[in-house]
A and B are shown apart, each in its own frame.
Chain A
Amino acid sequence: MSRFFIQRIIATLFSLFGATLIAFFASRLAPGDPIRLMMGDQNVSPQVVQRLQAQYGLDQPIPVQYVYFLRNALTGDFGTSYYYIGKPVLQVIAPGALVSLQWESVALVIAVALALIFGTLSAIRHNTWLDNAVMFVALSGISIPSFALATFLIVVFSLKLDLLPVAGLTTPAHYVLPCLTMAAQPAALLARLLRASMLEVINQEFIITARAKGLRETVVIVRHALKNAMLPTLTVLGIIVGRILAGAFLIETVFSIPGIGRIGVQAVIQRDYPVILAITVLLSVVFLLVTFIVDLMYGLLDPRIRYNS
């Protein structure tokens, strides 16, 4: 049993190491000398450039630079921004991280709630018009890119009906459009999976037993069927969190939310490579952690996984 956990920990650490390696070396492919980028249009003498290169460790071979990067990153030091000269990268990112965490959590909760309701409904009304309609909407939901959906929603709910605000994240009403736009795809994905999984569970003998005992239908569905059907869908939770983390680049741009995604897009425009690298690494760490926790939960909830591995 503990072997399963140790295996997962080692695999996660390995992925973490590999991801930082790929991200760091790729970031060194970026065109332009970092010091020149930092100085912008200012005219600096070669001596100054050399001194600055030594100061930032840029005169070292790239593998050595990677070791420095890793060592510093572990203490939360991602270097300084090229754009906001002298400002530590972490200070550029930190204010956005909290904002993103807030609205993305709301989006995740909405996605799971929508999926639970519609996935279950679709399964218990299997092959009816309701099931077909829900599944049609779900597949459409998977297919409409979030920023295109955002365009439609803004035109209808903000500009035509004047019901909801378009930009920023100050009042609860500001959360509605970004969270719904973000939740649409994950909800659709999860609902489809939950439906399939419910359909497998619902014909099993323990459900017949539960009904035979005279339990109310809601108890049979929620306590017996849904509880077991949710297990296989747990595996995609990691994928969904990954989509939300990366989707923030688009949604936060559309709705002018000062989160980590918008900071990332600005860093891309400003060619602020240390910030881009730090955001990529940090979001990947969050993603890996969530995947790791989901794996562990799966192992805890389903003994078959633990013993087979």
Chain B
Amino acid sequence: MAQNSILPVTPRQPAASNLWLDAWYRLQKNRAAVVSFVFLLALILFVTLAPLLGLPSPTEQDFGRMNEGPAPDHIFGTDELGRDMLSRIVFGGQVSLLVGLGVQISVAVIGMLLGLIAGYYGGMIDTTIMRVVDTMYAFPPFLFAVFMAAILPPSVWSIVLVLVLVGWPWEARVTRGLVLALKEREFITAARVVGASNWRIMLKHILPNSLSPIIVGFSIGIAGTIMAEAGLSFLGIGIRPPTPSWGGMIDKGRQYLQVYPHLSVFPSIALALTVLAFNFLGDGLRDALDPRMRKD
């Protein structure tokens, strides 16, 4: 131990650490995850403050200036109806991020609750819930989304509902698996012995111990949701005009791809970067939170 001084010392490693602090330090070392995190923070800030930035209206048409390339007053140019592209991308991003966040929060709440109940109580309750989950797995997810979006009335709420329907089975299955592994452990027995109620055990003891994979799933889930929403909007059954959406813009721009590629290319870049960032962040979180990956 006297030889310690010749070993390289990582100065930022705290002496006493807990899981979350540890994860934070590990995440900081992952360059792609940090860049993604900063990018997403900036994006969220930009998109939330959009109404204060004095951008042109995303729906105001100017037939004198259609399909223009980037110019000082329209940084990303204008679209086929003379609307400002930057503004449409920003407001389209607002919708995409809200749908992504809203859907994943609902998926997490519903999926975790059902997964907790199924895994904790077992028996008939478990069988029933898991049968429904298995049945949902019979559909390729995006196929089911297209099917439901075609049937439900056209609105943002329908899209949110569709994507929650597609997303919750995965969350429920993952949570159930974690609960099954946890509920036989001594600290759960100990909690039961001192008379904790079932709900207290589920919410206070099991849930916090299964959060890591759920957090990773949350970030990657947002990426998937945004991608699915854009896909539906691209097919004309997601977010409908005049509300701007990235998928819808890419679709509209396809007709002008030969002459005005910027109409499709800019929203494609926005979509790809956002999905990429959520995936890189999720990937970084997985490495940071997975205790098996720790070297010491």
Contact = CB atoms under 8 A, between A and B. Distances in A.
Contact of A144 (B253, B261, B275): B275
Interface string A1-43: 0000000000100111011011100110111000000000000
B257 A249 contact: no
Contacts of A253: 234-235
Contacts, number: 138
Interface stretch (B15-23, B133-141, B171-179, B203-211): B133-141
Interface stretch (B84-92, B113-121, B191-199, B276-284): B276-284
B280 A145 contact: no
A253 B236 CA distance: 11
B254 A250 contact: no
Given A18-B135, A143-B279, A159 B143 contact: no
Contact of A283 (B135, B143, B261, B280): B143
Interface stretch (A59-67, A90-98, A122-130, A149-157): A149-157
A243 interface: yes
B140 A245 contact: yes
A284 B140 contact: yes
B237 A268 contact: yes
B227 A254 contact: no
- Main SS of chain B's interface residues? helix
B145 to A, nearest CB: 8
Interface stretch (B41-49, B50-58, B73-81, B263-271): B263-271
Contacts of B151: 26-27, 29-30, 273, 276
Contacts of A264: 146
A242 interface: yes
B272 interface: yes
B150 interface: yes
B138 A18 contact: yes
Top 9 A-B pairs, shortest CB-CB distance: A18-B135, A242-B140, A246-B142, A19-B138, A148-B268, A143-B276, A246-B143, A246-B140, A15-B138
Interface of A: 11, 14-16, 18-19, 21-23, 26-27, 29-31, 136, 139-140, 142-145, 147-149, 151-152, 154-155, 159, 242-243, 245-247, 249-250, 253-254, 264-265, 267-269, 271, 273, 276-277, 280, 283-284, 287-288
